[in-house]
Every structure is written in structure tokens, then in C-alpha cells.
Homo-oligomer: A and B are copies of this chain.
Amino acid sequence: MTGLPDLTAIEAMDAADPLRAMRDRFVVPEGLVYLDGNSLGAASPAAFAELEQAAKVEWGRDLIRSWNKAGWFEMPLVLGDRIGKLVGAAPGQTVVADTTSINIYKALHAAMSLRPDRTIIVAEGGSFPTDLYITEGVLSTRPGATLRLEGVDAPSIEDLIDENVAVVLVNHVNYKSGELRDMAALTKRVQDAGAVVVWDLCHTAGALPIDLDGANADFAVGCSYKYLNGGPGAPAFIYVAQRHLAEARQPLSGWWSHARPFAFEQGYAADAGIRRFQCGTQCILSMRALKGALDIWDDVDMHALRRKSVALTDLFIQLVEAKCEGLGLTLESPRDSSRRGSQVAFRHDNAYAVMQALIERDVIGDFRAPSTLRFGFTPLYIGFKDVWTGVEVLEDILRSDAWKDERFAVKAAVT
């Protein structure tokens, strides 16, 4: 792109967008510039329809019989394989269950069980915090095991990997900066040292094409309520490479992970396949909304998605830097799109107030402590005009000092 596009050029970009029609399959409130699909993806008529069918017909009319008749029992596996398809996992390696945090717990224990003679977990100091909190929880149950942190014990995660490391827990896309790691290269580096890797795909799944099997990944976890649009708190997923399934053990060994859950045996026997990474009965209604959302993905070309994602984020950076120059913003995301996910972060000394002012004017991104404005671009329902409008409002708020109003002052933030 050369020169700064004007509104006519922006509208031409929307008109030429091969994914433009996808927007009609989502509920995007009129007038809202929603740059927060990386926190909660938009709703869809497809999700509503599944939810209503599951509630009114399957629960309401068929009751307990729906566990078989409506396929509730198999849904974690069926939806797991469908997410697997979006992240490069062949069938039988992915299951939808529980939360990302709980799946990290399972994955870390399972990874440690594969390397019983090693005691170190490597993670990122800049990780989304739950990864670290859960790691502490795992360590609390494994006496002698310790943690090495990127940014604390060494500047780069690669420098922390040696023959004592059992497992490396790493985010594919950083939740704050959007920095994208090279999955194949880091996986190889970890495995060359004899360790296993757990990829956190929360900001990856549905945001860009990836290939877990092709990268020879060991484990992965991720959520379905961001780019996959599964609904608020939709259940998470876990991927375990086929080669580890027979051997990897995790201690959340509830009856759904048993080889014969309905034999009601007294002793535990783990299922031989990916079912062993389930635990208890899943939230069927929430899972059905996710099913509706996943139906939309059947028609999405992930490479077209990525091209549009790059175009959206490049445009946003270009417009912000041109229009808001000298207004206190600094790019926190990688400028090189090949090293960036589908989100852009800018630093501002008063990021909290600026984001509150944006939200009041119907431009929704989010604030991340202490000073980050984070904007997510979900190519299925965000257009180039949204980027244009978002930057216009941002510029106006900064130029007018509108964010200095006392109603935007920092308080105990919960978003």
C-alpha cells in the first residue's frame, strides 16, 4: 500500500473483499465498531438456532434420551475434530471440554508424565497470566519441579531450554502485543532438547491458519469464545498428538475420561484415545452454541482469512500512525505482519481512560494493564470501513482531550 488511503479507497477495499458476505452470518449491532472479537467473538443466527434446538427440543421434549439421540455424548469429540480441522489436527486428537485454564493443567501434567526424569517447566513472563497461575498449581503438586520464566530468567525462551526441561508452555500469539511465534521452529528447538511443548492457541484458533500436525506439536490448548465465536465462556479445547495418547496421563481423571464410563467400575482405567483428556459432564447448551458458530467455519478459506487479517491490521497501524502522530501512541505490536496475529496494541500513558472514551463512542477494544490499548480484527465480520471509523474516533478523542473527562478516570477495572 502506498500513500494514505481515503474513504473512497477504503470502500473499494470492502467491495473487493472476498469475505465480505460472511458478515451477514453474524449479529453485528448497527453503528458499533467492534474491535474486541479477540476477547468475545460476535454472536450468530446459527448459534442461536442451535441453542434453541438444544434447549427447547432436545432438553425440553426429549430430556435424558438426547444424550444418545441428539449426540450429546459424542459432541466433545465431534466438535473437537472440527476445531482440529481449523488448527491442522487430524481427527482423534482434539476434544472440546472444560476451560483453557483446566486444559493447561491437564496438558502440563500429561507433558510432565512423558518426561518423568525432568523437573523444569519453561514459560513466558509475558504470558497471559492464567498460564502462569496454573503452572504454579501444577508445581504445587509436583515436589521438586521448578519454573523458568522468559523475561525473568533469560530474555528469550530459547535460552531457557536445556536437558533438564520437561515442558515448554508457550503462547503462539501473545495476548497483549499480538506477537506471533514460529511454531515449527520452536517446536523443533524444544524437541531437539528432549522436551515437549504445549502451545496456547487462545489468540490463534480462528485468527490465522496453523498446522499443529505439520509442526509436530505435542500438546495444544485454546479457547473457543474469541475468534471462533462460540459464545461467552464457551468450552475450551485440548489437542494431544496421536503419538502421546496412549502414554500421557493427566490427574483430572473423571468418569468421562474412563475407558468404560457406563460400566460404573470401581477402579480407574483411562480411555486409550483423546477421551482421556475429558473429565466430567460438559455444558451442553454452551457447547451447542459453539456448534452453530463452527458451522460457519465450514465455508471459510483460512488463507483468505489471513490475507484479510493482515490487510486490516496493516491498515489500522498505517492510519493510526498517520492520523494520530504526536498524540501519545506507540505501537506495541510487531510492525512486520508475518510476526503478528490478528490484533494490534498501542501504548498510551492513559490507556484506561482513552479506552473508556472509545467505548462510550461505540468503538470497542480493550485495555490491558498498565498502559495498552488492544484492538482485535476478526476478518469474518470486521470490514475496512470499521478500521477507518475506529481510527477517526480515536483521533478525535485524542485531539479533543475527551478522554480527560473525570468519568473515564481509572477505577478498579474489571474489563
Chain A 24-64 against B: per-residue CB contact (8 Å), 1 yes, 0 no? 00010100101010011011000110011011101111011
Q: Does A289 contact B (CB under 8 A)?
A: yes
Contact A285–B48 (Cβ < 8 Å): no
Task: Give the chain B neighbours of A39 by CB distance below 8 A.
Answer: 64
Q: Does A65 contact B (CB under 8 A)?
A: yes
Contact A413–B262 (Cβ < 8 Å): yes
Task: Give the chain B neighbours of A267 by CB distance below 8 A.
Answer: 132, 136
Q: Does A251 contact B (CB under 8 A)?
A: yes
Say whether, besides A252-B102, A280-B102, A36 and B51 are in contact (CB < 8 Å): no
> Cα distance A67–B366 when bound, in Å?
13
Contact A283–B233 (Cβ < 8 Å): yes
Contact A63–B51 (Cβ < 8 Å): no
Say whether, besides A258-B129, A285-B231, A368-B264, A280 and B48 are in contact (CB < 8 Å): no
Taking the nearest CB of chain B, how far is it from the CB of A64, in angstroms? 5
Contact A56–B48 (Cβ < 8 Å): yes
Contact A59–B231 (Cβ < 8 Å): yes
Return the chain B residue nearest A270 by Cβ. Answer: B133
Q: Does A215 contact B (CB under 8 A)?
A: no
Q: Does A21 contact B (CB under 8 A)?
A: no
Contact A140–B249 (Cβ < 8 Å): yes
Q: Does A156 contact B (CB under 8 A)?
A: no
Task: Give the chain B neighbours of A289 by CB distance below 8 A.
Answer: 55, 285
Taking the nearest CB of chain B, how far is it from the CB of A29, in angstroms? 5
Q: Does A109 contact B (CB under 8 A)?
A: yes
For chain A, residues 372 to 404, give those with C-beta under 8 angstroms from any C-beta of chain B: none
Say whether, besides A105-B251, A129-B265, A130-B254, A280 and B100 are in contact (CB < 8 Å): yes
> Cα distance A152–B266 when bound, in Å?
10
Q: Does A338 contact B (CB under 8 A)?
A: no
Q: Does A125 contact B (CB under 8 A)?
A: yes
For chain A, residues 249 to 271, give those with C-beta under 8 angstroms from any C-beta of chain B: 249-258, 261-268
Return the chain B residue nearest A367 by Cβ. Answer: B262
Task: Give the chain B neighbours of A359 by CB distance below 8 A.
Answer: 65
Q: Which of A43, A109, A225, A265 has the most CB of B within 10 A?
A: A43
Contact A48–B36 (Cβ < 8 Å): no
For chain A, residues 64 to 79, give those with C-beta under 8 angstroms from any C-beta of chain B: 64-68, 72-73
Q: Does A223 contact B (CB under 8 A)?
A: yes
> Cα distance A263–B39 when bound, in Å?
16
Partner of A64, one of B36, B143, B369: B36
Partner of A101, one of B136, B141, B236, B255: B255
With A40-B67, A101-B279, A231-B285 known, 10 other A-B pairs at CB within 8 A are A29-B61, A40-B59, A40-B64, A55-B231, A67-B414, A99-B282, A143-B143, A234-B285, A262-B415, A283-B286
